[in-house]
Amino acid sequence: MRFLTAGESHGPGLTAILEGLPPGVQVSVDELVAEQARRRWCYGRGGRASIERDEIEITGGVHDGITTGAPVSVWIPNRDYPNWRGTERPAWAPRPGHADLAGALKYGFTDVRPVIERASARETAARVACGYFSKKLLASAGISVVSWVTAIGDIEASLPPLEDRMRDAGLALALASEALSSPVRCPDPDGSEDMVGAIDAARDDGDTLGGVFETAATGAPPGLGSYVHWDRRLDAAISAAVMSINGVKAVEIGEGFTLARKSGRQAHDSILTGLQRASNRAGGIEGGVSNGEVIFVRAAHKPLPMLGSPLPSVDLRTGAACTAHKERSDVCSVGCAAVVAESMLALVIAAAWLERFGHDGVHCQDK
């Protein structure tokens, strides 16, 4: 299974094509729109989130709410497009931390607008569309993919111990459910309130904030992925998929960096009778293969580079020092990135599930 996206942030819209989804998966445009709403808004988003409504059209691969096995295509119009159509809005001063300068150097631009338009996080709306279909396939196999926020800036949520969050599928689902009522998608009400305050302070200062989120897949069977080649390892594919999300700068599977400070006796998960584990420090993956435990991923999202008080930059036409281009921007989008991470995790696991159990339809499942 693979997917492609096309379109720009302020162009007519975004196109998503998902190939390899089997026939027989029940889907709904209303559910897809609701999933997009989760990605579009969390506390700290800017004006763009209030403009878009993601009025989605499924244009292929689905008949009467059921996938047909043909490539699924989705069209997501940009409501902001009429406000930009026919106008020229060049950007000459690249923003530090964005793709602007790197993209301009790669493609020879002095106006970084083409970089801004395609490198924008607006593209993740198309990814979430593909992720929705993957989640529906996984749900038919008893697999759920969820997420929540654990930190914004230097504010950390008070949550059950990490080892419990990684091992207990019921707890993971409960945390994700509790996060639904939080404006920053944090399951700790007090921490959520403090995070909102931190975002307000950053906005007043013309600054931005990053944070940490966790995403988990429960119910995944053992045997997804493979140890036989580097590019078939499940943890490698998950890491690449989550790292590809705008703003993500670090990804951990299970305890990740913490394991490097432990001895072997402390780090590894004992195998009990019934082939269960006493812990899940490995995050559900060993040797590139799922082991039947919760697949658990943590990611760090850097502060957004689109500052209200821009950093120093250089005018690419003249080489003169100036301040960076200022674009309408968000203050914090960690909660939205967590939803995108769910989609990317679901896409990777769905592809691995199809490789493992490869069927021509969900009616053929025989695990």
Q: How is 211-274 classified by DSSP, letter by letter?
A: EEEEEEEESPPTT-B-SSSGGG-HHHHHHHHHHTSTTEEEEEETTGGGGGGS-HHHHS-PBPGG
Residues 77 and 270: their CA atoms lie apart, in Å, by 50
Q: Per this entry, what is the length of the chain?
A: 367
Structure tokens at 59: 């244009």
pTM, full prediction: 0.94
Residues 76 and 221: their CA atoms lie apart, in Å, by 33
Backbone torsions φ then ψ of 204, nearest 5 degrees: -65, -25
Residues 269 and 278: their CA atoms lie apart, in Å, by 6
Which amino acid does the sequence have at 10? H
Q: Which residue has the tokens 């693979």?
A: 2
Residues 334 and 196: their CA atoms lie apart, in Å, by 12
Q: Which residues pair with 322 in a beta bridge?
A: 313
**Cβ-Cβ contacts under 8 Å for 198 (sequence gap 6 or more):** 152, 153, 154, 155, 209
Of 201, 283, 280, nearest to 242 (Cα)? 283
Residues 153 and 199: their CA atoms lie apart, in Å, by 8
pLDDT at position 53:
62
Which amino acid does the sequence have at 103? G
Digitized pLDDT (tens) for each residue of the chain, 367 residues in all: 999 999 998 899 999 999 999 999 999 999 999 999 999 889 998 755 555 566 799 999 999 999 999 999 999 998 878 777 777 788 999 999 999 999 999 999 999 999 999 999 999 999 999 999 999 999 999 999 999 999 999 999 999 999 999 999 999 999 999 999 999 999 999 999 999 999 999 999 999 999 999 999 999 999 999 999 999 999 999 999 999 999 999 999 999 999 999 999 999 999 999 888 999 999 999 999 999 999 999 999 999 998 888 999 999 999 999 999 987 779 999 999 999 999 999 999 999 999 999 877 775 554 4
Q: How many CB atoms lie within 10 A of CB 261?
A: 9
- What is the domain-level CATH number for residue 198? 3.60.150.10
Residues 282 and 201: their CA atoms lie apart, in Å, by 37
Instruction: Decide if 10 contacts 78 (C-beta within 8 A).
Output: yes
Backbone torsions φ then ψ of 286, nearest 5 degrees: -130, 130
Q: How many CB atoms lie within 10 A of CB 302?
A: 16
pLDDT at position 367:
42
Which amino acid does the sequence have at 164? D
Query: Domain of 142?
Result: 2-364
Report how many domains make up the chain. Answer: 1
